[in-house]
Amino acid sequence: MKLGCAVSTYETKFGPIVFKDGNIRENARLLEKYGYESVDLFIKDCGDDQLWEYRELFAARGIGIITLFAIYLGENGVTLAERNPQLRRRNVDMVKRQLDKANVLGAKGLGMGFVRGMHEADETEEDALKRIAEALGKIGEYARSIGSCVLLEPINRYEVNTLNSAVKTADFVRENHLDGVVLQPDMFHMNIEDGPIPEVLRYVHPLIGNMHISSSNRYAVGNGHFDFVPVLQTLQELGYDGPLTFEGFAQDAEQSIRQTAEAMRRFEAQCGA
């Protein structure tokens, strides 16, 4: 089992990032201490030198980078659902530049959360999905050409109004033949939007590129009522050996990563692996 964790390189208030103080040197030390092997990294706009520094800082602790999140794009109104074709083309190019940054970091790929965008009040989700599919077609193709990928995350209805469930998102990727786009299912969102998690994981396989884990209440694993054993058993059956990345709320980040690691190892042992 490969554990990962959501980390911000800058001080942030964005809810579910475990380490939000931007003190990544200390964060990397703690992650190594509790046996974490990777991070999903939330960055601000920065140059290649800075990206190399991040990469080496984590690598020195044996920690790889899986998903690069550039949420500042979304905060600046960059979305793939943009209605103006000229602006949408500009946004596609901006997202492609983030894929270049993901490569500098040695990351698996670029996370696609809020940047996909929303449908507006006078249109349906399907209308916006046509624009998002067209944009992701180009971005996915570019990702493949540089050996990267887009990790598209189903996000619940209270945060965004497109691609809420993992099942719908898998259908969207398959129906639009979005090569270079994989899924980043997040158990917190799946709990709201999908059916039984093991069944849904079977449905979306082999598109899973990274998994976000937390408790059902989005705190450290072990606080809520998710049944992790059948989830882990299913992932094993499917041959998924990618990261299980803790993304959630944490009043005390060290205590939360310790608890999550201990709980996950306990659940893994119960799987009889």
- In what helix (H) or strand (E) does residue 8 lie, and over which residues does it extend? strand 2-8
Span of 99-107, 142-150, 152-160, 202-210 interacting with ligand LER by CB under 6 A: 152-160
Q: Which of 193, 169, 189, 197 is nearest to 181 (CA)?
A: 169
Give the x/- contact pattern for ligand LER in 84-103, rule: CB under 6 A. --------------------
Residue 224 phi, psi (nearest 5): -110, -145
Q: Using the rule CB under 6 A, is 153 a contact of ligand LER?
A: yes
Query: To the nearest whole angstrom, how small is the minimum distance from the Cβ of residue 85 to ligand LER?
Result: 26
Q: Using the rule CB under 6 A, is 120 a contact of ligand LER?
A: no
Q: Which of 230, 174, 184, 192 is nearest to 208 (CA)?
A: 184
The structure tokens listed for 48 are 């290649």
Site for ligand LER in 7-46 (CB under 6 A): 16
Query: To the nearest whole angstrom, how small is the minimum distance from the Cβ of residue 27 to Mn ion?
Result: 18
Q: Using the rule CB under 6 A, is 113 a contact of ligand LER?
A: yes
Q: Which of 20, 108, 131, 212 binds ligand LER (CB under 6 A)?
A: 212
Helix, strand, coil percent values for the chain (each to nearest 5): 45, 15, 40
Span of 45-53, 87-95, 123-131, 209-217 interacting with Mn ion by CB under 5 A: 209-217
Count of residues near ligand LER by CB under 6 A: 10
Tell me the HSE value of 154 on the side-chain side, using a 13 A CA sphere: 29
Q: Using the rule CB under 6 A, is 247 a contact of ligand LER?
A: yes
Instruction: Give dist(CA 185, CA 211) in Å, integer.
Output: 5
Q: Using the rule CB under 5 A, is 194 a contact of Mn ion?
A: no
Instruction: Give dist(CA 222, CA 59) in Å, integer.
Output: 29
Site for Mn ion in 230-259 (CB under 5 A): 247
- Cβ closest to ligand LER, residue 210 vs residue 223: 210
Alpha helices in 105-227 (DSSP H): 125-145, 166-175, 187-193, 197-204
Q: Which residues bind ligand LER (CB under 6 A)?
A: 16, 69, 71, 113, 153, 155, 159, 186, 212, 247
Q: Which residues bind Mn ion (CB under 5 A)?
A: 186, 212, 247
